[in-house]
Amino acid sequence: MKKSRYLPSALVDSLAPSGIRAFFDLVLTMDDVISLGVGEPDFSTPWAFSEAAIYAIEHGETSYTSNQGLLELRQEISKFLKARHKIRYSPETEILITVGVSEALDLALRAILNPGEELLIPEPCYVSYQPLTVLVGAVPVPVPLNARNGFSLRASDIKSRITDKTRGILLNYPSNPTGATISRSELAKIAELVKKHDLIVLSDEIYDELTYDKEHIAFPSLSDMKNRTIYLNGFSKAYAMTGWRIGYACGPSKIIAAMTKIHQYSMLCAPIMGQVAARQALREGAEAVAEMKAAYHSRRNFMVKELNRIGLKCPPTEGAFYVFPSIKKTGMNAVDFAMRLLEAEKVAVVPGVAFGKSGEGHIRMSYAADFDHLKEAIHRIERFIKKRK
Amino acid sequence: MDRVLSLLEKNAKMSPADIAKSVRMPLAKVKKKIAAYEKDGTIVRYKAVLNRQLIEGDGEFVRALIEVKVSPEKNSGFDHIAERIYRFPEVKSCYLLSGSYDLQLTVEGKNIQTIAHFVSSKLAPLENVQSTVTHFMLTKYKEDGDILKRDEPSKRPKISY
């Protein structure tokens, strides 16, 4: 029988639909929910960044930019990375401005992976990693992380999963959804493995400015790692600029050139207004970032303390604006917990399984929310747990 | 700044217990710190920030910025004359500025006449006051870092990855 022409491709069809779509849809229909389920800052973009974009629009800066993005923005990024992490990237050949880290990651995967090659992906992880890898015909190999280590990646976790098909590893620290980062000693061990097995590292460090107890260590700043790493970052989180959709990739010039090749056909360039706002963010944003970070820091401390008090075990996660407490003691699975909590107390959290099987038994809670909301949410969750005992 | 202070400055209602959790400090220590700040005057007092434009009957309240030129005194400079002025309860704020005049006051009254009366009968006659310029306020948009207009509720989706 002839196949219908009006069907998605077999590859797209093979992507598993999100298991928690129904839960998301339900949350979106409900009013007066206290939501700790949001993956973006609760702050608006600092006004100076927005104002720079408005000024640019008023003065006719509404055109395409070069495929690689505004040179001035690439120069600012280069300066920033040198000052912050002591990494030198050439603005001309080693930096590409993208539509968020999401596009940068997609480009990186498409630029480097051949069909059948394996990519190690520590899990739980952000929802796009696995499907984007599948879409290029490569094979995502989940590396389950251990709750006992606070979901922090250990070199030993990946060692046993390296095969002769392994092409690279996708790191994300601080992590969405767990908030975990990776210690300096483990990073060094991972770097050793990378060298030994000649792997390429895709390092999504979008939450790097949001660490609270220790300084973030950028992967390409490790010895010998710059030429083996595609470093991905952007403005959405620390600068509260999610809607502007500006990210960037830094890496060896050959890979950046390959990524630019795809980007010029699929995206042409990132929107100029966003690039102008991002340029302003790098020039004058440090203070605004520090202020938002201080707010997240207090809330992180508060949430960790309170979750442990009400019996949801939660390690003092290092970064991002997420906590990922265990709900195993309640006897419910993550989806049931989230669903019933929503129905009984109108508090929205994201079931850990949304981020991979190893997220079962956990929920992701974002503290990018007003302090009074966090407090009320804790109060309601405590009541919810007590009632079910 | 001490994080205890910066939390209180943003939200004076935050309880010592919540502050203790937020800065990872024992409750007793937080309480001790706050008591010390209250005692040494670092914390002047706790108050609510009001948008008085929304309070019924308060809309008729009139506020004015007054520029005051004064002659300083031999020993106390501007401090003494400033104090004689800021002690008046009508004076809501008082700053000594560099530039073409010396003191800037915010003065509040029931109507224009009350303020005019304050200027002509209390302020201007003071011996060291050389001249005054009064600007009546029309709309207050932002005060002390607080935008008085309520932001519209956030439009970010209630749940996202």
Task: Say which residue, A246 or A16, is predicted with more confidence.
Answer: A246
**Alpha-carbon span A123 to A349, nearest angstrom:** 19
Per-residue CA distances from A228 to A120, A181, A189, A274, B116 (Å): 15, 20, 15, 29, 75
Kindly determine whether residue B21 and residue A305, on different chains, have CB atoms separated by under 8 Å.
yes
Cβ–Cβ < 8 Å for A348, A203 = no
- What's the CA gap between A159 and A228, in Å, rounded? 17
Q: Is B23 on the interface with A (CB under 8 A)?
A: yes
- Read off the tokens for B45: 């007092």
Task: Provide, as residue numbers in chain B, all residues whose Cβ is less than 8 Å from the Cβ of A375.
Answer: 18
- The contacts of residue A128 (CB under 8 Å, 6+ apart) are A102, A105, A106
Contact A354 B161 (CB under 8 A): yes
Q: Does B11 touch chain A (CB under 8 A)?
A: yes
Contact status, residue A318 vs residue A211, Cβ threshold 8 Å: yes
- Asked if the ipTM is above 0.90, the reply is no
Gap from A357 CA to chain B (nearest CA, Å): 16
Q: How confident is the model at residue A335 (pLDDT cuts 50, 70, 90)?
A: very high
Cα-Cα-Cα-Cα dihedral sign, residues A35, A36, A39, A45: positive
Chain A residues in contact with B161 by the CB 8 A cut-off are 39, 126-127, 176, 350, 354
Spatial separation of the C-alpha atoms in residues A245 and B82, rounded to whole Å: 52
pLDDT of A118: 98
Supply the pTM of this predicted model.
Answer: 0.92
Min CA distance, A78 vs chain B (Å)? 29
Q: Please tell me the predicted confidence (pLDDT) of residue A3.
A: 67
Confidence of residue A1 (pLDDT cuts 50, 70, 90): low
Q: What is the dihedral of CA A173, A205, A201, A111, to 10 degrees?
A: 140
Q: How many A-B residue pairs are in contact by the CB < 8 A criterion? A: 55
Nearest 5°: phi and psi at A315? -70, 155
> Which residues on chain A place their C-beta less than 8 Å from a C-beta of chain B?
24, 27-28, 30, 33, 35, 37-40, 42, 44, 126-127, 176, 242, 294, 298-299, 301-302, 305-306, 348, 350, 354, 371, 375
With a pLDDT cut of 90, the percent of chain B lying above it is 73
CB–CB contact A37 B160 (8 Å): yes
Residue range A271-330, pLDDT digits in tens: 999 999 999 999 999 999 999 999 999 999 999 999 999 999 999 889 999 999 999 999
Over residues B18-72, the pLDDT tens digits come to 999 999 999 999 999 999 999 999 999 999 988 887 887 766 689 999 999 999 9
Task: Please judge whether A301 and B23 are an interchain contact, meaning their C-beta atoms are less than 8 angstroms apart.
Answer: yes
CA distance, residue A89 to nearest chain B CA (Å): 30
pLDDT interval class at A244 (50, 70, 90): very high
Count CB atoms within 10 A of the CB of residue A318. 24
Rounded to the nearest integer, the mean pLDDT of chain A is: 95
- Asked if the C-beta of B149 comes within 8 angstroms of chain A's C-beta atoms, the answer is no
What is the chain A residue with the closest CA to B152? Answer: A44
- Selecting from B18, B156, B157 the residue whose C-beta is nearest the C-beta of A375 gives B18
User: Which residues in chain A are contacts of B23 at CB distance < 8 A?
Assistant: 298, 301
Is pLDDT above 90 for A366? yes
Question: Which pLDDT score is estimated for A21?
Answer: 83
B15 contact A CB<8A:
no
What pLDDT is stored for residue A16 in this prediction? 79
Smallest Cα distance from B18 to chain A, Å: 7
Contacts of A317 (CB under 8 A, 6+ apart): A150, A174, A178, A179, A180, A300, A304, A323, A324
Contact B126, B118 (CB under 8 A): no
CB contact under 8 A, A176 and B161: yes
CA angle, B91 as apex, B86 and B93 as ends, to 5°?
80
Task: Determine, for residues A38 and B158 on separate chains, whether the beta-carbon distance falls below 8 Å.
Answer: yes
User: What are the pLDDT digits (tens) for A172-226?
Assistant: 999 999 999 999 999 999 999 999 999 999 999 999 999 999 999 999 999 999 9
CA dist A19 and A27 (Å) reads 15
pLDDT for A271:
97
Residues A105-148 pLDDT 10s: 999 999 999 999 999 999 999 999 999 999 999 999 999 999 99
